[in-house]
Every structure is written in structure tokens, then in C-alpha cells.
Chain A
Amino acid sequence: MKFDTPATTNPIDRLKVVGKPTDRVEGPLKTTGTAPYAYEHRDFAATQAYGHVVGSAIAKGKIASMDLDAAHAAPGVLAIVTAANAGKLGKGDFNTAKLLGGPEIQHYHQAIALVIAETFEQARSAAALVRVEYTREKGAFDLAVALDTAVKPPAMFGTEPDTSVGDFAAAFAAAPVQLDQRYTTPDHAHAMMEPHASIANWDGDELTLWTSNQMIAWSVGDVAKTLGIGKDKVRLVSPYIGGGFGGKLFVRADAILAALGAKAARRPVKVALARPFMFNNTPHRPATVQRVRLGATKEGKITAISHESWSGDLPGGGPETAVAQTRLLYAGADRMTMMRLAVLDLPEGNAMRAPGEAPGLMALEVAMDEMAEKLGLDPVQFRILNDTQVDPEAPSRPFTQRQLNKCLETGAEKFGWAKRGKPGATRDGKWLVGMGVAAAFRNNLNANSAARVRLSGSGVVTVETDMTDIGTGSYTIIGQTAAEMMGVPLDRIVVKLGDSSFPVSAGSGGQWGANSSTAGVYAACVKLREAAAQKLGLDPIDAVFADGKVKAGRRSFALGDAAKDGELVAEDMIEFGKLAEKEQQSTFGAHFVEVGVDSMTGEIRIRRMLAVCAAGRILNPKAARSQVIGGMTMGAGAALMEELAVDKRFGFFVNHDLAGYEVPVHADIPYQEVIFLDEVDPNTSPMKAKGVGELGICGVAAAVANAVYNATGARVRSYPITLDKFIDKLPEIA
């Protein structure tokens, strides 16, 4: 089904199932521990062997020698895979560093061997016996030092590194009120609960991988390319994923090494990355240095706006696209954005929840707060004043829907924003209390997505698509979509996901999954409706699918009757045309945060958070609320505690476990609320929905930062905002 004109009224608009707050259909499996995750498949329990990864102990250099004798001689060891014996390996399109290193080492904890043994304990113990001598080489590990060497990177996914409209320099110089500030954000870890894990089994030259992966079709391609086999020889199965956040968009060492290990041991092999490997073996969100300049009239109209960002990555990697939102969020005639990329020899950088916008808004939305103060304007009003209903870099492109102002106004009213005091002026006992606001912005992206639907004689509809559920609710919204389309309750739908033998979906990434994958199911269901009507001798145009029946005029059948001679199968793909080029599709929100800061110690404690979101039709308000709350929590972490500490001498992330890399716990955020504004966007798909999973994190950290400033009067421009950075600015002690 081509989607190249805005949607008109369709069966989804009935909203009998779609749009209802619905419990996750797979929830009971997860809460009872019966949903099999990648490492838990039992298909080969009798024959499987265990692989344990050996990681490089240095960040850059070469393996001088590798002594495997002791490991080979250890009890239970079946085989050891290294670059020296693995045969020629390619590199996936989505990988920057090789997944099996050696002799060249590209980063700390790059996998250099897999030890395979009869038991997990034997494999781990033998892995510690691998003796490696290295020749260290000097590397670049410090972004601040590497800034001067940064260059203009090539365009990524159609995103140009530089944009410019008008004459920013002249407009900024002429602006009566100016702001010019630098901000830094640190490297972040996805830190999901389930580590990367895979089980590999070869049947002749055909490989099956049970794995934990967000993008099945991309990863089938990269497994095939890395191993040098045909895509038709690779099957990926990933029905349940214990968190991804972008860390599982790509094939990682667990999958490739499990496949190589299974070949070497002639047995099914399972591999999970140990927790320390989750920080230095896998990708992370890269640190940034950002400069924001704003020029405004005395009345608060932005006349000049620029945003520059520097980040680093391994050779061949890409930048953190931290300036992306600044191209679209606020008005201003003269503007420019710029990204520069330095070479760093740290583990590779890559996508993490809302790549670009998440760190970009951490700078821009603090700059907006600072500018509002300079202008003597309320920060909510300053943002509203600079709203734009068109793409400010290309004013002929309107936004399809843009309710940023309403998000800000609604939030301000619900949150009690009017009670916000001057910086450092509100006290509650020993606590300095402050409120902060920030805009949330993330583009809505669409990706072609296919599905197959089957109707059985009993009236059960089965959906098959390689779409993934990374804890987001894909199973449920896909089920809701099929139920709505076929006119049956949700319990008549079976949803099967995450298997590369199913039609190729959009996958889970860039908050494009929900709208795109349900639109693909919509397309397949349209075909199934046609097939069912035809089978029942009804005119597909007149047939109404409702209450488990198919009716046209006076004739009425049970839905299952259409399949009583045999299962009906339909398959289709939603193919997105050029609507998104003509009009800009984005999601908007406003985050409000109240914090208390201990006036003695500087400890920051969030008191309450509110998000108001406008993101198209909300397919399942319960699941969407959970997504936004998760994003808010992650944003709170980015504001207050999350930082991969770089050892600039040895070139690695030091705090490589969940005790050292702190993420928020329940006690950190006592109260969170989410409001969705009514919105349907016929330009996005027949579902009229948009992404929401990444909108939730966008702007949160800046709202926290602005609240800390409002509480203390101390501005910290280097994340995370920890007490050591402003303890000297707290009130004098008696």
C-alpha cells in the first residue's frame, strides 16, 4: 500500500480497540519469567556449549602474541576462536570497529577471542587463562584536547553537518541582546538490563541466531556480510528484548562470536556479554561540546540563532547530531548549525535513545533559559514568543501539526508554574526549591513496514512481522491495530514478532516503530478484509467488520466463516511516499520539573516531573505513558548522574558496572505525570500516529538543569550536574 496522500476516514478511526489504555499482552509472560529471552531458549539445551568473550586489555595497538595453550588445556574447553583462526571476516554496514579484533586493537575491551567450553563456568575460567602480550600505541582519548583536530563529517542518513540561512554572524553582531555559551555532555551508556546475548546454531551452511536485536533486517544483512554468507542463509529470532535504547540496533560481538564459536565447536553455542563488557565493548552515546549563540530584540524575538557541536568517534564513525533540533525548533531569520567530528580511540559511539536531540536539547534548552533571564522574560513566554509554524530553514514547509505552545501553556497551568520564584529565593526548610521548564522536540520518522496476517476458521487472526518489542508495547499496539481492522476483540489476535522469516518491518529505532509497523499491519489487514469479503461473496467496499462479524446489507457472517475452507493469508507493506518532504512531521512536548537542593550539601532531589506531549494519535495511552515516563527517568539520569568516566591515559570507561554507572532509582523521582494533547495527524500514516518513545527523554535534562538554577542561582553548564560542580556557589554556612 502506497501512502502518498494524507489519510482519510478509515476503520482505525472507530477507536474501539486502538486508542484505549490497554495492558501489554505479553505482560504476564514477562512478570512470570516465562517469556524466553535470547539467552534462555531451550531448543538446544542438550547439546549447547558456552562461549566466553576475551576483551582487549589495551585501547589501541597490536596483539604481539597470544598464548592459548593453558586455556585449551583447561577442563571442558572445546575450541577457541580468534581473528587468527576465524577466517576472513567482513564488517557490517552499521559497525565502526570490528567485532573480532586482532592483531590490530581499535578500542578497550574489543573482543579478541571466544573460549568455548561445556559449561559457562568452564568457559569463563578458561578465558582468564588466555595470555596476551600487547604493543601499545598512543591514542586520542580526550575530546577537549581533540577539538582542534575535528573536521567536517560526511552527511549521515541525509543529515548535512552544516546548514545556514541568511547571515548569522551579522545578525548576531547586530542583536541588542546576545547569549554565547558552551555546554558539555558526557558519554552515556545504554545500561539496559538484558546484556547482549545470542545462541547460534548451524544446520549445514544455514545459521540461526536467537539474539536480542531491535532491527532484524539490518542485522540479517550485517551478520551475512560479516560472515561472508548469503542473507538467505541467516535467520534471526528476537521475540523478546530486555531493553535496547539503541544499543541493540546493530549486530554486536555476541552474535558474530556465537556464530563463529558454533562453527568451531560444531555445536550450538550461547554467548552473553558480561556486564563490564556492556560499557567498553558495545557502542555508547558520544560526549559533546556544544556552543549556542542566540541574538534577540529587547522584546524577546530571536533574530539570530546558531548551534555548533563537536564530538568524537573511531575512524569511520559519525558525529552525535546534537544540532538537529535547532534547525526546526525556534524562529529566527538568520541562523546556522554546524557539526564537527574528531577521531577518538574510545569504544565506538552510536545511537542512543533520541540520538542528537537528547544531548542537543541539554544545551539549547538551557541557553533558552539563560536568554529568557537576560531578557527579563518568563522562559515559557520566551519560547511561545519564538514559535514557528513552518520549517525555519525552509519556510515553504509547514509543520503538519505543531502544538508546542499548547504543551507549554497546559503544562504551566497544571504544574503551578506561576508559583516559581526568582533564582535562589524559594526555601523549604534546608531545601532550596526551584522549577524548570524545557521544550521537547523529536522528529517523526516513517519507515516502510510489511506484515502478514492469517485468518483461521475459528476467527483468530495471526499477525507476523519482523517488528521487535523492546519493552515498548509493540505486541499490544499491533494486536490492537489488527483487532480494530478485523472487528474482533484483542483476545482474538495472535501477534508473532522478531523473526527474520516474517515480512520485513520498520523495526524499533528512532521512535519510528509504532506508527510505521502498525501502518504495515493496517495495510495487510486491508488486504485480508478484501480477501474475506470476497470469500463470503460480499462487496469489499460495503462490508463492515465489527463485533466478530462481517456484514453487508442484510447479510452477516462470523469472521471465521471466510476461512472455513482453509486459512486466508494476506501480506502487504506500507510504503511511505514524499509527504514528509512537503510538510515537516515532528513531535513536541514540554517538560516541567521541580527540584529541591540541600542548601548545605548541594544534594539535588527531584520532587516532581510533568510532561505534556503532542505526538499524533496515541495508539495505547498506557504504553505511551510508560514510554514517556521511561524517557523522563532517563533524562533525569542524564541531568544528575549518568557519565561514563573516561580514563584519558589508558583510554577506557572506568565505571563499567551498574554500581559505578549510576542510573536513577525509584527514590530519585517520587512523582511523574504525563499528559497527551489530543492530536491526529493524517500526514503520518493511516494510523495518524507519530513516535513518542524518544520524545519523552528530549528536553528533560535541561528542565532539571533549569530547575537547579532556579533553586540555587548557580548555573552548571557541564553535565551531569553533580554537587561538586556548584558547592562553592551554595549559600554561606553559619
Chain B
Amino acid sequence: MKSFTYERVDTPAAATAAFARTKGSRYIAGGTNLLDLMKLEIETPGHLIDISRLALDKIEPTPEGGLRIGAMVRNTDLAADARVRRDYGLVSRALVAGASGQLRNKATTAGNLLQRTRCPYFYDPNQPCNKRNPGSGCAAIGGFSRLHAVVGASEACIATHPSDMAVAMQALDAAVETVDAAGKTRSIALADFYRPPGTTPHLENMLAPGELITGVTLPKPVGGIHIYHKVRDRASYAFALISVGAIVQPDGSGRVALGGVAYKPWRVKAAEAEMPRGAKAVATALLAGAKTSHENAYKLPLVERTLAGVLMQARG
């Protein structure tokens, strides 16, 4: 770990100002991922701005009938919120499928979205990794790739995004709200928030330097049956091999987002049009153009089968 300086801020404006003031800054909230990465010197910020005490810890209704989730709302609190459980069950179910109780107590909503890949080569500074060390190559391609992406990947990177919560939020058409140092706010659809790896896998999202996530908004509830099925090798405390987040309406229409298959939660509008035709049709459209290795080819049938199970469960 490199030495770093630290300050704690009380307002978003103070946070963005501090970021602009000090080169090499990073925000830290729950720290459940950043600290690990700093110990391995995969992240080497010279200055940490502690935003964990910002007053962004509320869950409030929006004028449009949705919910605005503060960036600092802890995963545990979000999963337990009565409105979330009633109207956005997918979010609660995805959250409790992730990490452990202790981690969820620390982890924040914004931090969850910004956690970095768990690709084991990314975590080993001795190995080439374009995400960690741009231009050095990708050791996962041709290596141990059982957990890696099958869609949306590039010749430079086949890492997946590890969040469960983001899968649910993407299915719900969530948007990320931000503020920058000039006080300018904007809203980015979660669907557009993550950058495809392309030739620059180290650039992971659309945030400008210093731009701070203040919250996530969920549109008004869409009803339906919410099911999150996370498939993993052990029953708890493991990242997804794949996950399926689905909202199924009584008429058979609905929405599906996948975790564990791409650099972001994977949702394809055209696939959702196939919902009434069943899992095979949906999975085929979702995974069109998939590129697999010998080790992760199982993800394609696994997505289809898991989705079939989810649809069966939704039918009751």
C-alpha cells in the first residue's frame, strides 16, 4: 500500500472541491473493495476523501412515483427498506444474494455500482492485465476463464462486473445521479453507465474525474413478479457464475437482466420481446454474438436453463 493522505467531508460540494484540489484523489465510502485493491497496489490513490458521512443516506419518494436512493445508503438498509421490498423486490433479493452480512453493512449503493471486477488476473500484479496496466495484455484470455464474460467482451478484456444489485437496478431502468465540481448535476441511465471494454478496459464508466454519485433513482413500480436467481458453486458468499434478474407480468411479458456474463448487467430489449415465447427464445436473443472459451461455454446453456426455471417459478 502506498502512503496516502486522508480527509473527511460533510457535503457533496466539499467532496468535489476536495477532489479538484488534490491530485490523485479517490472517494472512499464503505471501502470494502478499494482497501483490498490498495493493499495490493492495484489502486494507488495519494489522497482519500471520505464521503461516508455525507447526508446521502435517505431513501425518498420521487415526484414521478419512484424512489430516490441516496448514494450512501448501506446495502443492508436498502435491502430491508419496506418500500423497496414491496415495490422493487428484485433489488432486495439481488442485494441479499451478494457478499455477506458484514460486507453489506459497510457497502454503499454508489460503491456497489463502482466495485471493480473480481477477475483473478486483475488481482495479481505480476500478471498482464489491460484493466490494471493498460497495454500489458490480458492473461485471462487463454487462461483460467471459467468465470469470465461471454458477451460484450473485447480482445483486450473479458472481465465481468460483479454486482448483483446493479443487475436488479438495470432491469428496473434505474438512473445514476451525479454532481461535479462546478455543481452541475446530471442523470445517467444505468444502461449507459458502464463503458464497453473495447481497447480501453481501464475506463469502466461514464463518470468524469471527480464527478460524485449522489444517488440512484428508480422509476415508479412496474409490478409483476420479481425473481433473482444467482447461480454459484457454493450456497452463499460467492460471486455469480451467472445470475438472472427477471420481472414477469401476468400476461407473460416482462424484463430480464443477466449478471456474470459481461462487463455490465446485460439487458437486451429485443430479447424481452421474446418473453412470451419462453426461455430459449429469450436466451438466444440475449446471448446473440456470444464468444466463449472452453471453460466458460457452459454459461450459455446455464443462462437458458436458469431463465427457464425463473419463468416456471413465475408461473407458479
Q: Which of A618-666 touch B at CB < 8 Å?
A: 640-641, 645-647, 649-650, 654-657, 659-660, 662, 664-666
Is the C-beta of A2 less than 8 angstroms from some C-beta in chain B? no
For A601, A662, A734, which residue has the most chain B Cβ atoms within 10 angstroms? Answer: A601
Using Cβ atoms and an 8 Å threshold, which residues of chain A touch B23?
none
Q: Is the CB of B144 within 8 A of A655?
A: yes
- The CA of A317 and the CA of B146, in the complex, are separated in Å by 30
- The interface bits of chain B over 109-124 (1 if a CB of A lies within 8 angstroms of the residue's CB, else 0) are 0000000001011011
Selected interface stretch from A368-376, A407-415, A512-520, A725-733? A725-733
Using Cβ atoms and an 8 Å threshold, which residues of chain A touch B306?
600-601
- The interface bits of chain B over 285-316 (1 if a CB of A lies within 8 angstroms of the residue's CB, else 0) are 00000000000001001101110110010000
Q: Is the CB of B1 within 8 A of A665?
A: no
Is the C-beta of A276 less than 8 angstroms from some C-beta in chain B? yes
- The CA of A310 and the CA of B77, in the complex, are separated in Å by 52
If A128-B41, A649-B143, A723-B298 touch, whether A430 touches B309 (CB-CB below 8 Å) is yes
Q: Is the CB of B233 within 8 A of A722?
A: yes
- The CA of A724 and the CA of B308, in the complex, are separated in Å by 17
Q: Is the CB of B236 within 8 A of A667?
A: yes
Q: Which of B120-143 touch A at CB < 8 Å?
A: 120-121, 123-124, 126-127, 139, 142-143
Is the C-beta of B6 less than 8 angstroms from some C-beta in chain A? no
Q: Is the CB of B235 within 8 A of A647?
A: no
Q: Is the CB of B279 within 8 A of A733?
A: yes
Q: Is the CB of A57 within 8 A of B238?
A: no
B-side interface residues, number (CB < 8 Å): 39
If A645-B144, A655-B144 touch, whether A600 touches B235 (CB-CB below 8 Å) is no
Q: Which of A119-148 touch B at CB < 8 Å?
A: 121, 124-125, 128
Is the C-beta of A320 less than 8 angstroms from some C-beta in chain B? no
Bin the interface of chain A by size.
35 or more
- The CA of A264 and the CA of B312, in the complex, are separated in Å by 67
- The CA of A659 and the CA of B100, in the complex, are separated in Å by 12
- The CA of A524 and the CA of B1, in the complex, are separated in Å by 52
Is the C-beta of B21 less than 8 angstroms from some C-beta in chain A? no
If A654-B121, A660-B120, A724-B146 touch, whether A667 touches B279 (CB-CB below 8 Å) is no
Q: Is the CB of A723 within 8 A of B302?
A: yes
Is the C-beta of A668 less than 8 angstroms from some C-beta in chain B? yes
Using Cβ atoms and an 8 Å threshold, which residues of chain A touch B309?
430, 598, 600-601
Q: State the main secondary structure of chain A at its contact with B.
A: loop
- The CA of A718 and the CA of B259, in the complex, are separated in Å by 27
Q: Is the CB of B143 within 8 A of A665?
A: no
Is the C-beta of A605 less than 8 angstroms from some C-beta in chain B? yes
- The CA of A656 and the CA of B3, in the complex, are separated in Å by 25
- The CA of A660 and the CA of B148, in the complex, are separated in Å by 13
Q: Is the CB of A654 within 8 A of B120?
A: yes
Q: Is the CB of A641 within 8 A of B120?
A: no
Q: Is the CB of A601 within 8 A of B305?
A: yes
- The CA of A78 and the CA of B146, in the complex, are separated in Å by 43
Question: Which residue of chain B lies nearest to A733 when distances are taken between CB atoms in the complex?
Answer: B308
Q: Is the CB of B302 within 8 A of A601?
A: yes
- The CA of A647 and the CA of B241, in the complex, are separated in Å by 19
Q: Is the CB of A645 within 8 A of B146?
A: yes
Question: Which residue of chain A lies nearest to B242 when distances are taken between CB atoms in the complex?
Answer: A601
Using Cβ atoms and an 8 Å threshold, which residues of chain A touch B298?
723-724, 727
Q: Is the CB of A734 within 8 A of B144?
A: no
Using Cβ atoms and an 8 Å threshold, which residues of chain A touch B305?
600-602, 727, 730, 733
Taking the closest CB of chain A, its distance from the CB of B269, in whole angstroms, is 24
Q: Is the CB of A654 within 8 A of B144?
A: yes
- The interface bits of chain A over 701-734 (1 if a CB of B lies within 8 angstroms of the residue's CB, else 0) are 0000000000000000000101110011010011
Is the C-beta of A67 less than 8 angstroms from some C-beta in chain B? no
Q: Is the CB of A664 within 8 A of B234?
A: yes
If A125-B2, A125-B3 touch, whether A665 touches B231 (CB-CB below 8 Å) is no
Q: Which of A151-199 touch B at CB < 8 Å?
A: none
Is the C-beta of B229 less than 8 angstroms from some C-beta in chain A? yes
Interface residues of A (CB under 8 A from B): 57, 75, 121, 124-125, 128, 276, 430, 598, 600-603, 605, 640-641, 645-647, 649-650, 654-657, 659-660, 662, 664-668, 720, 722-724, 727-728, 730, 733-734
- Other A-B pairs, 4, CB within 8 Å; known A600-B308, A720-B233, A733-B305: A57-B126, A723-B231, A723-B241, A724-B302
Please name 12 pairs of A and B residues whose Cβ atoms are closer than 8 Å in the assembled complex, sorted by A: A57-B126, A276-B123, A603-B231, A640-B234, A641-B234, A646-B144, A647-B144, A724-B302, A727-B305, A733-B304, A733-B308, A734-B312
Top 9 A-B residue pairs of the complex, sorted by shortest distance between their CB atoms: A600-B309, A724-B298, A57-B126, A667-B235, A667-B236, A654-B144, A645-B144, A733-B308, A641-B233
